Structure 1
Amino acid sequence: MGGSGKYKVILVDDEPIILRSLQAAIGWEELGLEVAGTARNGEAALKLIEAHAPDIVISDIRMPGMDGIALMKEVLAGGPKRIFIVISGYGEFEYAREALRQGAFDYLLKPIDHEELTGMLERAAAQLDARMENERLLHSAKALSVMARERLFAEWIEGNDRPLGHMQWMENSELEQEYVMAVVQLDRYLRLNEQWMMDEKRLWLFAIRNILEEWSLQHGALTMFPFHSGEWILLFPSGGQADAAALGHDLISQIKKYAKLGCSVGLSRPCTGIRQLSAAYQSATRALYRRFYSEREGVFADEEGQQAEARPSDLKYPRQLESVLAESVRMLDLQRMEAAFDDLKLYIERHAAAKDAAERLLVEIAVVLYRQLEYASVLADWPLDGLIQALHEAEHLQEAIDMLKKAFGGQMEESMKSQTKEDARSLIEKAKLYMMNHYHKDLGIEEVAEVAGLSISHFCTLFKQATGYTFLEYLTECRMEKAKYMLKHTSVKVYQIAPMVGYQDPKYFTQVFKKATGRTPSEFREESSYSV
């Protein structure tokens, strides 16, 4: 027999000695058979048959209550593939012939010839083997038919009809009616694929396929099959976008419920015929581009008349944004860096770029900013390829932007923390010297922070720590000291001193001077006992 299991046999006879004789005298194991149970009447036999589902039943014809023929009719009605062998006496040949007419495999006359029964059982086992092989071949043929169908659809979807052109019998199939394609994509599949072991991956994908197959049968899908890794295709009779969207949301709900995994669904525009499978797939995946701009899973439809989404060539590299980001990273200006990344997100959204195009742009920006940190020698132990892989696995644009903010923001914060107090002091001394040499000009904090090589926010913090003054307080103090020196040692008029210390308006200079010293410039000069 095929396989390593045994065919089960039930023995039925009202004479215990015959039952014992059959169990002992036949080499059941050598025949690939096992006796699953014995019964002494038809009613008890039915219970055994229900409990053990035997392949062969050997029963006496004449028994009290339900006789062998009645038992055989009921057994074969419930399982026509079972083999039924009857035992009869010499005076019961008509019963045996009736049993054969009713579907018995063979009959034995009492007293039982064990060699004859053994030969009969060998033929019965051979017939069961042949049936099993036929069923296996039929199952294989069906499986091959399904695989051929799936491969045919896959070839058409990819725009290649030549290798399977001889299978034109499928062209006049159910696809001649208008249909909608749903492309189901697992969220975070790349990350899951890394986490799953090979056996675990096969188990998950098999489970999801089973969920989708059962769901497809319940909802009248024309076909369902896996396409790319983490992606399945379903075809439905067209019933309008609202109906398709409802089906899509139900699909997401079922996969989340039974597989505990998130997914999104892209719906194509209505199509007709097998030759439009490729267009339907492009339509559904074009709809799925919008998943990149959504922060959660959902159903995305490519509506009638919708313009094709922008292709990678439409997304020009934003040189100005790159310059702003590079400068903010170089200057360790966290706030400006985050604002620039927000602007980059808006730029990509306006172009409605596909994920691969947006991803390439983000990777290019990441490399540029990484080089800025590298040139400034402020990089911690941080491999760039880890960030690039994370960007590749990002499910949506906001997630990718947040990754970049976190990655570069973290490096910038570490850089600021790692600068020693001595480094900070030298930078502030450089700023103070510049202020001393340029106090008479219209000097702003932006100019001095740039001279120090710091962002404005970082410069303000370090300057206050080093001097105890804010930038404006220190600049004012510097100007006032210069003004007091000139008031003491020169006869230059007050209105002439004002622009010499950075104030174009003499009245404003007088106000600032009085606030700083408690006296007007003239009062200060008089108290200094210096005659003009």
Structure 2
Amino acid sequence: MGTAAKYKVILVDDEPIILRSLQAAIDWESLGLEIAGTAKNGDGALKLMGEHSPEMIISDIRMPGMDGIALMREVLTNHPKRIFIVISGYGEFEYAREALRQGAFDYLLKPIDHDELTSMLQRAVAQLDAQAENDRLLHSVQVLSVMARERLFSEWIEGNDRPLAYMQWMENSELDRDYFMAVVQLDHYLRLNERWLMDEKRLWLFAVRNILEEWSSQHGGLTVFPFHSGEWIILFPSELQGQKAELGNDLIYQIKRYSKLGCSVGISRGSRGIQQLSQAYQSATRALYQRFYSEKEGVFIDLEAPIGEAPPSDLKYPKQLETGLIESVRTLDTQRLTVLLDELKLYIEQHTAAKESAERMLVEMSIVLYRQLEFANLLVEWPLDGLIQDVHEAANLNESIGMLKKAFTSQMETSIRSQTKEDGHSLVEKAKQYILNHYHKDLSIEEVAEVVDLSISHFCTLFKQVSGYTFLEYLTECRMEKAKYILKNTSVKVYQIAPLVGYQDPKYFTQVFKRATGRTPSEFREETG
């Protein structure tokens, strides 16, 4: 039983009988060889090579058109590791010797001795095997070198200035010159990571790395490698300092074009030497802090802070804002909640906090407000871990605040609808009774809303829905009814009636009374007296 074919062979000769003889007389399969095709001249052989990429060519020297020497020169120029065996007649020894000088593996004289050819093929296969093994070893060394270099760079970026001893042999000459760093971060990576299956994740990250490596080689990058998940590092020579924005924008365009993924790029200040890799990374990520305050992807360049400076300090927790937000949630005042969340956004922006600090504050605030809803039994199928995850996955501050507005407003509006349906009538009746008992005072909507423990906006909506009146309409109606009763049943003067029904100005009372009844108080008394 023969072995599986490892290498492809092309036979080239202008004599069909020799081609048939070679095909039939040699046990190609047992040698691990497969005849991929035959050709009668050099031009035909080149066409077959383009189709099959053979590892071995056996060709006659003397052929019409492109002869064996020209064919061999063409083949070995582009692929010097291919095995080329020439066949020549007794009178063509000078051609055979020229072929050997130009790189032929060996030559055969006609008529062909098949045992000699078999022995020659065995040696050729052994050489191809040795080349394949060398290529595998070289590839392994290259892969290990790349991995080790990336590990070395990562060690320095992480702040370990004493890398493992076995890595110290590596050269890092590209860092002995001035350079700057670009950190490429995929937008919404946490969301993508949750959505991707493991194989999909490997495929996407592999695709992005290929895009970056090809792009980097075309644009003068010194090296490119992945760092954290969803993040890659590219080092550029200092000569490209003036093109930072252009390079970053083209990076974003290429990644979106070929992978359909969005990303942002942070670019550091200039550095020199491997010892400054960590500071360069801090500089580039400090630039990327700006992404949190931007509503879309972009290139962010560290221009101001000296390299090595600490990132923005932690925020001081805004206790006063928290108190206001708690009160707005307690009273289901969605309008006030929205205003205070905008104030919180402005507070964070004014302090230009790092994303981690801002996220921490937003998470703490969200938990406090969530517990307030939970304590009041106002939550509707809304898990806390989902809320926290949404905060972390938001791409920027604007998106975070928008998400909190939408999430809490939705819960509060659901609670308002629920309360309106369950006990809205009793709350409005309570408000009406309070108005009837206090109509003669300087009664405000804030006072009545507080009595029924509702926000002003919620109270206004609920009162109108249940009673059919606005608060002011109902209060005025109560006062007018009391005024009519006094006018009809007593002789109290008009100017004395005004303060009895809540109006300190008699003239204003008269205007309101006429607007409500179509008559002045005096006219009403005369008509009903």
* TM-score, structure 1 as length reference: 0.89
Counterpart in the other structure of 1:311? 313
SS in 1 for 2:179: strand
Query: CA separation in 1, counterparts of 2:4 and 2:282?
Result: 49
Query: Structure 2: which 5+ runs fail to align?
Result: none
- Is 1:439 the equivalent of 2:429? no
Map of 1:238-253 to 2, 5 A cutoff? 238-239=238-239, 242-253=242-253
- Is 1:416 the equivalent of 2:448? no
Contact kept in structure 2, 1:181 and 1:236, CA below 8 Å: yes
Task: After TM superposition, give the deviation of residue 296 of structure 1 in Å.
Answer: 0.4
Query: CA separation in 1, counterparts of 2:499 and 2:64?
Result: 131
Compare 418-427 and 84-93 and name the one that shifted more. 84-93
Task: After TM superposition, give the deviation of residue 460 of structure 1 in Å.
Answer: 2.0
**Cα 1:151–1:494, aligned 2, differ >3 Å: closer, same or farther?**
same
**Cα 1:65–1:218, aligned 2, differ >3 Å: closer, same or farther?**
closer
**Cα 1:182–1:55, aligned 2, differ >3 Å: closer, same or farther?**
same
Counterpart in the other structure of 1:281? 281
Question: Aligned residues, how many?
Answer: 525
SS in 2 for 1:30: helix
The Cα offsets for residues 206-262 of structure 1, whole Å up to 9 and x where unpaired, read as: 111111111111111111111111111111122476521111111111111121111
Counterpart in the other structure of 1:137? 137
Amino acid aligned to 2:313 = R
Amino acid aligned to 1:10 = I
Contact kept in structure 2, 1:269 and 1:284, CA below 8 Å: yes
- Is 1:230 the equivalent of 2:227? no
Counterpart in the other structure of 2:34? 34
**Cα 1:103–1:429, aligned 2, differ >3 Å: closer, same or farther?**
closer
Counterpart in the other structure of 1:198? 198
Compare 375-384 and 43-52 and name the one that shifted more. 43-52
Amino acid aligned to 1:310 = P
Amino acid aligned to 2:392 = H
Query: CA separation in 2, counterparts of 1:288 and 1:446?
Result: 46
The Cα offsets for residues 50-82 of structure 1, whole Å up to 9 and x where unpaired, read as: 544332222345556665555544543443222
**Cα 1:311–1:100, aligned 2, differ >3 Å: closer, same or farther?**
same
Counterpart in the other structure of 1:84? 84
**Cα 1:51–1:498, aligned 2, differ >3 Å: closer, same or farther?**
closer
**Cα 1:97–1:305, aligned 2, differ >3 Å: closer, same or farther?**
closer
Counterpart in the other structure of 1:448? 448
Compare 496-505 and 362-371 and name the one that shifted more. 496-505
Query: Structure 1: which 5+ runs fail to align?
Result: none
Task: After TM superposition, give the deviation of residue 102 of structure 1 in Å.
Answer: 4.1
Contact kept in structure 1, 2:148 and 2:167, CA below 8 Å: no
Contact kept in structure 2, 1:309 and 1:352, CA below 8 Å: no
Contact kept in structure 1, 2:57 and 2:85, CA below 8 Å: yes
Amino acid aligned to 1:252 = I
Task: After TM superposition, give the deviation of residue 280 of structure 1 in Å.
Answer: 0.8
Amino acid aligned to 1:234 = I
Compare 51-60 and 454-463 and name the one that shifted more. 51-60
**Cα 1:432–1:4, aligned 2, differ >3 Å: closer, same or farther?**
farther
Counterpart in the other structure of 2:335? 335
CA RMSD of aligned residues (A): 3.0
Contact kept in structure 2, 1:171 and 1:274, CA below 8 Å: no
**Cα 1:433–1:233, aligned 2, differ >3 Å: closer, same or farther?**
same
Percent of aligned pairs with the same residue? Answer: 76
Counterpart in the other structure of 2:159? 159
**Cα 1:130–1:520, aligned 2, differ >3 Å: closer, same or farther?**
same
Task: After TM superposition, give the deviation of residue 192 of structure 1 in Å.
Answer: 1.2
Contact kept in structure 2, 1:177 and 1:273, CA below 8 Å: yes
Query: CA separation in 2, counterparts of 1:13 and 1:423?
Result: 100
Task: After TM superposition, give the deviation of residue 39 of structure 1 in Å.
Answer: 3.5
Contact kept in structure 1, 2:420 and 2:462, CA below 8 Å: no
Amino acid aligned to 2:188 = R
Amino acid aligned to 1:139 = H
